[in-house]
Chains A and B, each alone.
Chain A
């Protein structure tokens, strides 16, 4: 069943060979993939090419712009907002990946043990992941809304003074990251649990025969076995975090004073706030290039395995 054996069309007329192609079933994979390919061309390939072009023009959402060369990219590189968004994207990704990996691994290890009600716990811990972003963030906002909100009452119990979580620049960053970790750890937990369950049990039996303590079993059996999947998961999560719009937007709209504005929010603000399609497209294109580098690393990793 060769899917790409088109070379036979050299012999005979085009129509005859097309008919043969159809009859033998060699055409089938192309036909099966055709609807998806058309959709991807329309929604990914077309915008990618036009977006690339828009990055070199000065258009708005209402009218096409003129070619302005590298102006948009020059403006980006020299703009403080862009450098800050780049920096925040990095901080956001690094802290979220580390945080949700640690939390996910800890819970996966716990769930991998013999514990009553394991199936229930596994499902209950997935909820932060499946709840719509707007729903959970509404509730989070309530918990830190003002000086009498839940978090501040708890702080008050310990004698601390109220914290303005959403209007203080540092705290806003901390809360955006914390909520992103909360929304991301279930995926990590689920994937790591699946990986833990596929580790060969005889490795542990051999290790305990050799007198390895449980800590050493974790260090020298579990972690090496999880190494590859951990790298892949970390890269995936990095990509998703760089792409995240919902968490910072719904919590702070990028504020206060753009403190929680990542590249996606910046591109959104340029395009839909300032009506500057050129600058917005250039920002999104930079985001694409950063993500492409990560994807290439990811695909290499997966090939190695």
Chain B
């Protein structure tokens, strides 16, 4: 805190300002949740901002008459798959970046920057053609591979900053006891980084679960679509049905919120230390 000893009045003024900011900034999210409990007819009349006669009609419509659960299942499959691959690859690479020096490691570290900034559209065009010949269009494998790589820089930097906090003396002791270097990583370092790896895994899951662009290109069949792409189908097919659209959006965001609350304290590790400190 830069300025010590503020008066209570000052503190509560700041509290008031921040409360208003939070409310205004999150208005789209708040309105979406409220709107999801209104029928489209009620929404179109727009008699008041606050909802009246709450109804769950949108949710039962969504559940019974649309592909919503199918989309959710596809999202879970794609996100789980890419979480496993990306956490595994990032843990190995993060350990290399944390413990080893040399030209190869430095080059790799630079490459991660390029990956993070790569215009994904350039990768999508040749990969679309390749995946089509391999029969991977509409398969969760296509997005799993893409997500793993796109998320790799963030996950690797995060893994590295966790490994950096584990003292090397522990591995050296294991080496003295006859453990191989890789054995020391598997038996000593990995178990100690459990919470860190969990955070990385959840971030990977969130990223894949939220992703739209790649899924939009590769998952074209309605039965293959993940939630973000599926919701756009709603906008075209049921373009005036705002109620269902809001309900679908609200349900989609529930897992995001739950997972985010679990890891929000780790968020500075990857986002800030990785992207900014390098």
Chain A residues with CB under 8 Å of chain B are 1-4, 25, 28-33, 35-37, 39-40, 42-44, 46-48, 50-51, 54, 61, 107, 110-117, 121, 123-128, 130-136, 138-140, 142-143, 145, 148-150, 153, 182, 187, 190-191, 194, 196, 199, 201, 204, 214, 217, 222, 229, 232-233, 236, 239, 242-243, 245-246, 249-250, 263-264, 267-268, 271-272, 277, 280-281, 284-285, 287-288, 291-292, 294-295, 298-299, 302
For this complex, 19 residue pairs linking A to B, each with C-beta atoms less than 8 Å apart, are A40-B111, A43-B145, A50-B126, A111-B18, A121-B22, A125-B22, A128-B25, A132-B212, A133-B210, A142-B246, A149-B46, A150-B31, A190-B268, A239-B117, A243-B117, A249-B213, A267-B121, A292-B114, A299-B110
Q: Which residues of A contact B113 (CB under 8 A)?
A: 295, 298-299
Q: Which residues of A contact B276 (CB under 8 A)?
A: 191, 229, 232-233, 236
Contact B114 A115 (CB under 8 A): no
Q: Which residues of B contact A50 (CB under 8 A)?
A: 126
Interface centre among B6, B90, B121, B127, by most chain A C-beta atoms within 10 angstroms, is B121
CA distance A158 to B119 in the complex (A): 43
Contact B25 A125 (CB under 8 A): yes
Q: Which residues of A contact B19 (CB under 8 A)?
A: 121
By DSSP majority rule, is chain B's interface helix, strand, loop, or mixed?
helix
Q: Which residues of A contact B126 (CB under 8 A)?
A: 46-47, 50-51, 54, 281
Contact B21 A107 (CB under 8 A): yes
The residue of chain A having its C-beta at the shortest distance from the C-beta of B110 within the complex is: A299
Contact B231 A134 (CB under 8 A): yes
Interface centre among A131, A134, A140, A249, by most chain B C-beta atoms within 10 angstroms, is A134
Contact A43 B149 (CB under 8 A): yes
Contact A44 B264 (CB under 8 A): no
What count of chain B residues pass the 8 Å CB interface test?
97
State which residues 240-278 of B face A: CB under 8 Å.
242, 245-246, 249, 252-253, 256-257, 260-261, 264, 267-268, 271-272, 275-276, 278
The residue of chain A having its C-beta at the shortest distance from the C-beta of B120 within the complex is: A243
Q: Which residues of B contact A250 (CB under 8 A)?
A: 212, 232
Number of A-B contacts (CB under 8 A): 290
With A46-B126, A187-B271, A284-B119 in contact, is A135–B1 under 8 Å at CB? no
CA distance A232 to B156 in the complex (A): 20
Chain B residues with CB under 8 Å of chain A are 1-4, 6, 11-12, 14-15, 17-19, 21-22, 25-26, 28-29, 31-32, 35, 46, 49, 88-90, 92-93, 95-96, 99-105, 108, 110-111, 113-115, 117-130, 132, 145-146, 148-150, 152, 156, 180-182, 206, 209-210, 212-213, 217, 227-228, 231-232, 235, 242, 245-246, 249, 252-253, 256-257, 260-261, 264, 267-268, 271-272, 275-276, 278
Option from A217, A246, A295 in Cβ contact (under 8 Å) with B212: A246
Q: How far is the CB of A269 from chain B (nearest CB, A)?
A: 11
Contact A133 B271 (CB under 8 A): no
CA distance A295 to B132 in the complex (A): 32
Additional A-B contact list (5), CB under 8 Å, known A246-B213, A299-B113: A47-B122, A51-B123, A124-B22, A139-B246, A190-B267
